[in-house]
Structure formats: structure tokens, C-alpha cells
Structure 1
Amino acid sequence: MEVSKKLLNSVPGCVDDALRGLISCSPGLRVLQGHRVVLRADLERIKGQVALLSGGGSGHEPAHAGYVGPGMLTGAIAGPVFTSPPVGSIVAAIRAVAYAGAAGVLLIVKNYTGDRLNFGLALERARREGVDVEMAVIGDDCAFTSPRKAGRRGICGTVLIHKIAGALAEQGKHLQEIFQIVTEAAARIGTLGVSLSPCSVPGSRPTFQLAVDELEIGLGIHGEAGVRRDKMMSSDQIVKIMIDHMTDPVSQSRVNVKSGDSVILVVNNLGGLSCLELQIVADSAVRCLEGKGLQIERAMLGSFMTALEMSGVSLTIMKSSEELLKLYDYETAAPAWPPVPRIPVTGQTRIFPCVPESTQPKELVPDVKRVQVYRHILENICKTLLSLEEELNELDRAAGDGDCGSTHARAAQAIRDWISSGEIPSHSARFLTTLSHVLLEKMAIQSVSDGCCKSLAE
């Protein structure tokens, strides 16, 4: 396997360059001199409040530095790609917020050995210096029904903890109260991912291999092995498998929800999935959860915790409550937090009724023989268009985007569906008008610049 192409200046400096890019475009953030630490620019405002620090290996952008700002994290410590940050940088971040007058520090750490070790050592050093520090370890992975000795991995659900803890800190809650609420909230969260392709650390080959017709369920955000591989399937099918696995009553890692419960849903792009696919997955997830009788109070759709360029998606479900919803809805200026509407998803009307056309009087005595002629002509046209689909596509590839034949095949299928409906009028003007409406509705119009041909709808 070849080394993947990436837009970098250098492999060793990629994390520093990325942090500079974030800081340059985010006036509310600053970098701590000599360290890969991002802090709020208004650090003086945290005096008397609990400071929140998180972080981990880079490559999960916008996590974690994108969640630094009022209402979320006070700072984030970045390690090399997929590698925990050094103890010295974590200690430097703790000292910076303590010097600014923080009334205690909460470290929010994903459950990985390196992160727990380095943040834990930093916590011990800070406590020896007299700083009041606690560490909340987040493990929200639902992949393994019987968690291994290390426990559940920390993945996208950690972002929800950033939000909840940030709201509590802004409200002036003390350290132990925030720590307790965050710990209880973390137990209500579950996440599961699925990947269609691997990712690759800059300068290296892909972390694993998947056949072109395979996907992997339950893998980690660094490319760690999942729980099963399957053949490619539809969005509805894979989402059902994921949610069934996440809510399986026999699983020790399940999200403990039942019909009638309220939840927050996060549909997270693992890095390389197209927006089109992500929205399709989101639709599948909303329908699946509502089909189980769950009330979706809020839904987030986007890239929140990625795995470099991995083509995949994770679903996070959090069992919500009135208090947690208030904390979730609390204002934040963190650059990566999306503008989520503060209204329930379930129960909304999702379709605007179409304004009907002005109707024309129906034919009193349809001409059956004329309709039969129309059917015969249309059937021959459709048969010809369908047989020429690939030939027309090939011609279009030389001058356009290669979809001319597919576009006309869609038109042919739409006409056939119309024929099957039995609604063909015999009056010639009404016949042509109705046919044009069928094509305009079902057949995308190609641009003239494609150079092959315009659609029948023109």
C-alpha cells in the first residue's frame, strides 16, 4: 500500500501548522507559547470559575481545540497525530488557568491508556503544586458487549461532556459538583462507529485494509479493530444494525433507553464521508430511533470528532433529561459547536404541502384507441432510451460529466411509471402537457455546457 497523499508543509510540523490555522481564523483563541496548548483569549474571565481542560492526540479535528471558548472548554492540549500529549504540556496548561484565577481544574479525558497515563501524571504534579484538580474519564463506546479490562473507549460522546461541563462552569458551579454531574451524564451516553475505508497517519500507510465491498462496525477513532465486518449494505440496514447493537439489553456497554425516553442524537462524520451520505445516514437514524418509540429532543449533524480522512460515520445517543437539555442548550462561543435549534426533532412537521395546480376538467369520454397509440409510441421510446443508456453516457464522458444516458433512462422509467398509473389523457394537448410535467418532475435537466445533449424536458 502506498503512503496516502495529504496537503501538508511537513509531517513533523503538521500539528503546529494546523493549530496556527485554527488560531488565525478564530480571534477568540490563543496558543500557549512553547506548547501545543490552545486557550481562550479571554482567560481573565475564568477567575473564580472552574477551568475545563481536555485534549489528546491530533487527527480528530475539530476536537478538541475547536471546542475551546466561553460555554465549553477553557483549553485543549494537542499531542502528535493519534498520540497522547506530553505531561509537560498538560501541566503547563493547568498552570496557565490556575494563574488566571481558576477555582479548580477539571480534566476531561477520553478512555485511552496514553491519555489516562499522561493526564493522570499531570494531575498528580499539579496537586503537589497546590492546584485543585479532578479528572473525568469518558468511555462511551458501545462496540464490545463485554468491555475489555481497559473499559469502553472514549469517542464522540466526549464532545457532549465538553458542552455540559462548559455550561456548568459558566454558571459558577464548584469543581466537585461539575465532576459529579459530568460523571453521571457520561453514563447516559453511547457511541458506535462504522467505516467504509481506513485512515492514514501523515507520512504513513493506511492503518488497516477493507475490501471494496466491505465495511467495519465498531472500530475506534484511531483505526482500532471493530467487532465485525460485513458486506456493504444500505444506510437503513447498517443504521438499524448499529442502533440495535447500541441498545441491546444483554450488552454491558449499551445505552440504557426504552420506548418513551428522550434522547440527544449526534450523527458524526469520521472525516471522509460526503455530506450527501451523512444526511442519508441522519435520516435513517432519526426514522430508526423514532420507530423504537424514542423522542429525539436534539440532533447534531456534522464533523465533531473525526479520524483523519476515514470514510465513515458514528452515531451517539445520549439519554436526556430536562436539566441536561438546559445545559446542552446553554450559549457557547466555541468555534466548532454548531448552531443547534433548541426545539425537539420528534413531533415536527417535516413536509410542506404542495400548492395544487389549477385543475382542468376531466375528459367525459376518453378516446381509448388514441390512448393505446400513445402507450405504444411511449413504450418504444422508453425501450430505446433504456437500451442506449451506457452508449449515451460514454458519448457524454468525452464532453461532459457522463450522465446523459442515465438522465434519459430516468426519464424512460418515469414515463413507464406514468403509463402504469393509467392516467394518460386522450386529448393531445392534455397528453403533451401532462407528459412534460412528468419529465420536469422526474428528470434532472443537463446543462448546455455538457456538450452532449439537453434533456427531453427541454
Structure 2
Amino acid sequence: MLSAAVAGGVFASPPPASILAAILSLHSAGASGVLLIVKNYTGDRLNFGLAAEQARNHRVAVDMLIVAEDCAFEQPSKAGRRGLCGTVFIHKLAGALAEEGCSLDQIVSKMTEVLKGIGTLGVSLSPCSVPGCLPSFELPPGEMELGLGIHGEPGVKRSKVATADEVVKMMIDHMTNPDSQSHLPVQSGDRFVVCVNNLGALSCLEMAVITRAAIVSLESRGVIVARVMSGSFMTSLEMAGVSLTLMKVDQETLRLFDAKTSACAWPNISSVSVSGRSYITDSPAMSTRPQEDTHSEGPLSPVMCKVLEKVCSTLLEKQEELNALDRAAGDGDCGNTHAQAAKAFQEWLRHHVVPGCPGQLLSVLAGLVQEKMGGSSGALYSLFLTAAAGHVTERRSNAAAWATAMHAGAQAMRRYGGADPGDRTMLDALCPAVDELMKLTSATPGGEMTVLQNAVQKAVTGAESTRDLTARAGRASYIAAERVTMPDPGAVAVAAIFKAVLQSLEEQTSA
């Protein structure tokens, strides 16, 4: 099945450095490519996406498959459906294809098709609790929660406790309701693999009763139950609940599902030998922190140094302004996180030489914001810088190359962050500015500064426009629209950064 797994804290995504270390370890062990199988949660998308971008800069072939098979929400939000126990099926099938020598592209293509036929829904009689914390939600005696996630979050519907047959029927009805945007199409004669997954605290007897109810209910609809898994495959700590996953299969998918594996918790363990496998334990140590590298100066070093110094001083000056804007729609720390990044840059500048290669500098900055800035902003900026770094690798990268780099960074933010222009985020300032910068790819010599001035104005206008936008992403999307009347702090910060870059370049040109 999996060649590596990376763990974070309880209910938290792992840090990008750990993910990158796993990727590089597999690469050094001879892997021709690495597939990241990621459940659809913002933190996971961001941190695994950032690690993937960093790995590509190490010339590693990496792709990412997002699993989003939750059937709970009739109208999923922009964030999309969550990734649940169906991820285990993808682990098994992708692992079988890799074992057979299929290419990375072939595996991704096949799994993308399989995902269209997977659906999951959970139900529970209790919440769970992170060790040392209160329960994740309150559930009165005699009631149950339908449509839970795997991180202790409550469901979409609450009802009275019923018999196993009634509960399973309700679950399957909800999963297959054609009026729901996240439903799983099921027709008489379809073949499915079924997984009855213990969310943590059900007994073997209870699991057996629910498994029987699931088989009976599906067969009453004319569904052919090709295989059944019953056990603890993706738990939610001590939650007294169960999730039901259905995967539509053809003969080829079923063959991959049945392929033998040495994964110790897979149901066919009794028929599979787990001995005789070799494991890589002595891979050479590889640093995942680009800021530790040593660099030499180049012609652009003084220019980039002054630009960076100006950006830092600007962000520190705007710390309280950004905090005030954030208090109106978030947790009030936007200025603090940007100031942390600025201070980290200043500290780095005091002890290091600015590299001559712009791409190396961007990689350094990406590592610093990843480690020092924190929050979603740190991950997003690091994604932007990491994706951009690969496009300005020459010591004399021209304006067109910088524009292409900025465009790649913005696209990485959109791809992994899940937001778009118009969603009231930093992208509303960044994307219009980057679109304007793309004119540098065809600008006549001497016109570069005019394009940059126009890009700055686009960023400022875009940031101000967020005042009138409805938040569809980020923390502000959870606040009532009538209470969000100030510009988005992330967008204001981006506009300030663009303005600082322009001011620094203008000062150096006139000097």
C-alpha cells in the first residue's frame, strides 16, 4: 500500500518539512515518482501542496490526489466535500498499481476515475475529545449525529437513536439522494465494495450488527455487494460511531482491491506473509530547510536586498493597521503574523548574503515564512514563493521571467488554497496585479516600470474592492456579511508589499 505516511498532531495536518523529508527519502531510495494522497481539508491541501512544490524544486516528480468523497452536505461549500474513509480504498488501489509498475500519470488518471464512484457518510452516538480537552460537541442522551467528519466536528443532522436497520437505511438514503449535490449514484445491478468503519468505540458485536444491516439494505436495492470490510480503518479517537463507505467497482478495480498486501491492518492479513520485506532505514540525511544553504552574491543581490528591507519596514509599520482590520473579520492577528515574517527576514539579512540567483532567494524566504510566520498565511506565502522560485533560476532573470514566476505563485495559491478572486481574500489584490505584470512578457524595453506602477495600482484597487465583497473563503466567511465592512487585511498586506517593492525600485533608479 503506502510507501510512507506522515503524521501531524491530533486532528492537525503535518508540517511541510516532515512531508518533504518523506518525499525526498523515497526519491533517494529510487522512487521514479511520488504520489501524495491527501484528504480534502484546507490545512492538508496547503501543507502537502507546499511540500510538493518544494519537492519539484528538488527535481522530484510529484503529484497530489485530493480525496473528497463525503456525502453529508446537500450543497457543499466552496471548500468542497471532505475526505473520509474512502481514502483507504485509494491507498489500496494506488498501491497495487504502483506495485505493478504503473507510471505516476497512469495511477493518478485511474484513481481520479475511481473517486467518482466513492461515497462516505458517518453517524455517531457521541462526540470525541482531544486528550486533555472538552468533547468536540454536545449530544444529548438518546440522540445521534449524522454526517460527521473525522476530526470530531459535528454533523449536518440530528435525530433520535433508532435501530441498526433504520439507521443504515437512513444513511444510504442520504448518500444516494439525487437531490443532493454530493450524492453517490447507485442503481440496481451496480457492484460495490462496502466498508463499515468503526469511528473508535463500537464493540465487535455492534459492528457485526451494522455490517449485516448494510448488506441487507444494499441488496434490497438490487446492489451487488462484491466485497465487505468491517473494522477500524479511519477512527475519530473514542467516538461511538460508524461510517459507511461504498465504492463502485468493475472487474479491474476489484482485481486491484484483491491484490495481496503486507499492510498489517488490511483484512487479508491472514493470507499474506509480512516477512521478507526490505525497508530503507539508512537513507542519507537531506536538509529540507533552504535557508541553511550558503550562497554567493550576484549583480542583483544589492537590488533584492534593498527591496526586501523596504518590504520588511513597511509590514512592521502596518502591523497595527492590519490587526485592526483583522479584528473586524477574524482573530485580529494578521498584522502580527506579517510582522513575524518581516522580523524573520531582517534577522536573516543580518547574518546571510543575499544570493545572486533570485530563485534561491525566493526559496530562502519560502522556508522562513513556513517556519516563522505561522497560520494559513504562512503556508500560502510559502506556496507562492516556492512555486515562483523555479521560474527565476538565472542570475540575471529578466522582467518577463519575474512576471511568469509571480503568475506561477498566484496559481499555486489558488490551486492549493481553494480560493479565487472575488472570494474576499488576498487574491483579490494579488491576482489583478499579477495579471498586469504578465504584460512584461511582451513589454517594450524601458516600459517595465510603467507596468509595475499599473500593477501596484491594481493591487491597491483590488484590496479596496474587498470592502464590498462577500467572504466565501478564509476565516471571514464564518462571520455574518453585515459585520464585515472593512477591506480584507490579507489583501491590504499584499497591496502594501507591491507598493513597497515599487518604491524601493524607484528610489534605486533615481539614486
The TM-score normalised by the length of structure 2 is: 0.52
CA distance in 1 between partners of 2:188 and 2:182 (Å): 19
Quick check: 1:204 aligned with 2:133?
yes
Contact 1:266 1:299 in 2 (8 A): yes
Which of 165, 183, 188 does residue 236 from structure 1 map onto?
A: 165
Quick check: 1:77 aligned with 2:2?
no
Contact 1:142 1:254 in 2 (8 A): yes
Aligned to 1:195: 124
1:250 Cα deviation from its structure 2 partner = 1.6
Q: Secondary structure at the match of 2:234?
A: coil
**One-letter code aligned to 1:107:** L
CA distance in 2 between partners of 1:188 and 1:100 (Å): 34
Deviations 1:230-255 (A, max 9, x none): 01111111100000111111222111
Contact 1:255 1:318 in 2 (8 A): no
**One-letter code aligned to 1:237:** E
Aligned to 1:163: 92
Residues 271-290 of structure 1 correspond to what in structure 2 (within 5 A)? 271-290=200-219
Residues 289-438 of structure 1 correspond to what in structure 2 (within 5 A)? 289-339=218-268
Aligned to 2:195: 266
**One-letter code aligned to 1:244:** D
CA distance in 1 between partners of 2:57 and 2:268 (Å): 40
Q: Secondary structure at the match of 2:35?
A: strand
1:187 Cα deviation from its structure 2 partner = 1.4
Contact 2:260 2:268 in 1 (8 A): no
**One-letter code aligned to 1:116:** R
Aligned to 1:88: 17
Which of 48, 55, 64 does residue 126 from structure 1 map onto?
A: 55
Larger radius of gyration: 1
CA distance in 2 between partners of 1:172 and 1:151 (Å): 32
Which of 32, 38, 44 does residue 103 from structure 1 map onto?
A: 32
Deviations 1:2-24 (A, max 9, x none): xxxxxxxxxxxxxxxxxxxxxxx
- How has the CA–CA distance of structure 1 residues 341 and 282 changed in structure 2, closer, same or farther, with 3 Å as cutoff? farther
Aligned to 2:66: 137
Q: Secondary structure at the match of 1:212?
A: coil
CA distance in 1 between partners of 2:238 and 2:50 (Å): 31
Q: Secondary structure at the match of 1:290?
A: helix
Q: Percent identity?
A: 59
**One-letter code aligned to 1:256:** P
1:183 Cα deviation from its structure 2 partner = 1.1
Q: Secondary structure at the match of 2:267?
A: coil
1:170 Cα deviation from its structure 2 partner = 0.2
- How has the CA–CA distance of structure 1 residues 341 and 322 changed in structure 2, closer, same or farther, with 3 Å as cutoff? farther
Deviations 1:95-154 (A, max 9, x none): 000000101000000000100000000000000110000000000100001111111100
CA distance in 2 between partners of 1:138 and 1:338 (Å): 22
Q: Secondary structure at the match of 1:81?
A: coil
Please identify which structure carries the higher helix content. Answer: 2
CA distance in 1 between partners of 2:60 and 2:120 (Å): 33
CA distance in 2 between partners of 1:176 and 1:328 (Å): 19
- Measured on the aligned residues, the alpha-carbon RMSD in Å equals 1.2
Deviations 1:136-185 (A, max 9, x none): 00001000011111111000000000000000000000000001111111
Which of 179, 184, 209 does residue 108 from structure 2 map onto?
A: 179
**One-letter code aligned to 1:216:** E
**One-letter code aligned to 2:70:** D
Contact 1:196 1:312 in 2 (8 A): yes
CA distance in 1 between partners of 2:265 and 2:54 (Å): 31
1:341 Cα deviation from its structure 2 partner = 10
CA distance in 2 between partners of 1:257 and 1:228 (Å): 22
**One-letter code aligned to 1:251:** S
- How has the CA–CA distance of structure 1 residues 341 and 260 changed in structure 2, closer, same or farther, with 3 Å as cutoff? farther
The TM-score normalised by the length of structure 1 is: 0.58
CA distance in 1 between partners of 2:270 and 2:176 (Å): 26
Contact 2:36 2:64 in 1 (8 A): yes
Structure 1 unaligned residues grouped into runs of 5+: 1-71, 343-458
1:225 Cα deviation from its structure 2 partner = 2.4
Contact 1:299 1:340 in 2 (8 A): no
Contact 1:110 1:155 in 2 (8 A): yes
- How has the CA–CA distance of structure 1 residues 314 and 114 changed in structure 2, closer, same or farther, with 3 Å as cutoff? same
Contact 1:139 1:151 in 2 (8 A): yes
**One-letter code aligned to 1:172:** G
Aligned to 2:301: none
Deviations 1:261-287 (A, max 9, x none): 000000000001111111111111000
CA distance in 2 between partners of 1:262 and 1:162 (Å): 20
Contact 1:240 1:288 in 2 (8 A): yes
CA distance in 2 between partners of 1:325 and 1:142 (Å): 23
CA distance in 2 between partners of 1:341 and 1:295 (Å): 25
Aligned to 1:431: none
Q: Secondary structure at the match of 1:328?
A: helix
Length, aligned pairs only: 271
Please identify which structure carries the higher strand content. Answer: 1
CA distance in 1 between partners of 2:264 and 2:5 (Å): 13
Quick check: 1:226 aligned with 2:159?
no
**One-letter code aligned to 1:102:** A
**One-letter code aligned to 1:187:** K
Quick check: 1:116 aligned with 2:45?
yes
Aligned to 1:153: 82
CA distance in 2 between partners of 1:308 and 1:324 (Å): 31
Aligned to 2:445: none
1:340 Cα deviation from its structure 2 partner = 8.0
- How has the CA–CA distance of structure 1 residues 340 and 333 changed in structure 2, closer, same or farther, with 3 Å as cutoff? closer
